[in-house]
């Protein structure tokens, strides 16, 4: 069973087209074997109403959420807590713009790899990846990659912050029990926890295209770059204190 989680925040205009594209793909590839969880991360516009409208009459779409904007990491943990436990269950989370930035066939590839590896992440930095990025985001991404490689050398992941990752549900629940970050740094922290506990991580190459008119993101480069840098420092401190050990 696939739980496909889409955190969203103040994106009423983009929500219907992107969610319906994912639904059409999953219905074609995995009929009856998936649900789409739309997690409202404290939206203040009409996004929640747009999500509820999509879910009306569609039992495979479920809307959850909370009142205060708390970040992608919090949304993924919250969504995982609403999924029933059991063997064979996997959770993939993706940014809302996934249908515009990459080929949805990577979802099937990720599900197949999760049959053998507890964590699978889409990577824009593998040799086989085909990437078209906005130059400012590409520059910040490479600087962030350098900072992670220097300050968290045991992580050994080429693209820790891409918004497309999959987990065995039980593995994600175990990570969530010791996770402390809520926003963009949660991705790095979750993978760091997995490495600390010896959980295998696989990366798959993905095509990634940000250079199109429909591209939209909630990322604010300077604000979120600072958040991720300070997040690296917090994760380093937590590692040194043994806070990620069971």
CATH code assigned at 196: 3.90.550.10
- For residue 77, being part of any structural domain is answered with yes
- For residue 73, being part of any structural domain is answered with yes
Q: What is the pLDDT of residue 126?
A: 83
Confidence of residue 213 (pLDDT cuts 50, 70, 90): very low
% of the chain beyond a pLDDT of 70: 88
For strand 119-123 and strand 164-168, is the pairing parallel, antiparallel, or unpaired? antiparallel
Residue with tokens 């770059």: 225
d(CA 85, CA 106) in angstroms, rounded, equals 25
Q: Compute the radius of gyration of the chain from its Cα atoms.
A: 17
- For residue 246, being part of any structural domain is answered with no
- For residue 216, being part of any structural domain is answered with yes
- For residue 22, being part of any structural domain is answered with yes
Write the pLDDT tens digit of every residue in 166-183.
999 999 999 999 998 998
* Domains of the chain: total: 1
- For residue 134, being part of any structural domain is answered with yes
Whether residue 4 contacts residue 86, with contact meaning beta carbons closer than 8 Å, is answered with no
Residue with tokens 């993939």: 92
Confidence of residue 130 (pLDDT cuts 50, 70, 90): confident
- For residue 245, being part of any structural domain is answered with no
Residue 212 has pLDDT above 60, yes or no: no
d(CA 170, CA 174) in angstroms, rounded, equals 6
Whole domain around residue 161: which residue ranges?
2-240
Q: Residue 139 contacts by C-beta under 8 Å, 6 or more apart in sequence?
A: none
Q: What are 65's two structure tokens?
A: 């959420």
Residue 140 has pLDDT above 70, yes or no: no
Residue 127 has pLDDT above 70, yes or no: yes
Q: What is the pLDDT of residue 215?
A: 47
């Amino acid at each position: 069973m696939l739980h496909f989680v889409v955190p969203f925040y103040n994106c009423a205009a983009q929500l219907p087209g992107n969610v319906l594209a994912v639904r059409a793909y999953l219905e074609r590839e995995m009929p009856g074997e998936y649900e789409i969880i739309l997690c409202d991360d404290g939206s203040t516009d009409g996004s929640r109403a747009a999500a509820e409208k999509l879910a009306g009459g569609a039992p495979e779409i479920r809307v959850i959420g909370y009142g205060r904007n708390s970040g992608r990491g919090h949304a993924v943990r919250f969504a995982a807590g609403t999924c029933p436990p059991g063997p064979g269950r996997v959770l993939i989370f993706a940014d809302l713009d996934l249908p515009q930035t990459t080929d949805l066939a990577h979802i099937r590839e990720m599900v197949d790899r999760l049959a053998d590896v507890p964590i699978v992440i889409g990577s824009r930095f593998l040799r086989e990846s085909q990437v078209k990025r906005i130059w400012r985001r590409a520059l910040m991404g490479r600087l962030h990659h350098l900072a992670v490689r220097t300050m968290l050398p045991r992580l050994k992941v080429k693209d820790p912050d891409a918004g497309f990752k999959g987990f065995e549900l039980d593995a994600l629940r175990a990570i969530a029990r010791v996770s402390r970050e809520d926003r963009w740094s949660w991705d790095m922290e979750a993978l760091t926890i997995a490495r600390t506990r010896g959980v295998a991580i696989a990366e798959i190459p993905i095509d990634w295209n940000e250079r199109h008119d429909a591209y939209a993101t909630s990322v604010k480069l300077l604000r979120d770059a600072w958040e991720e840098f300070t997040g690296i420092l917090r994760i380093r401190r937590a590692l040194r204190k043994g806070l990620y050990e069971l």
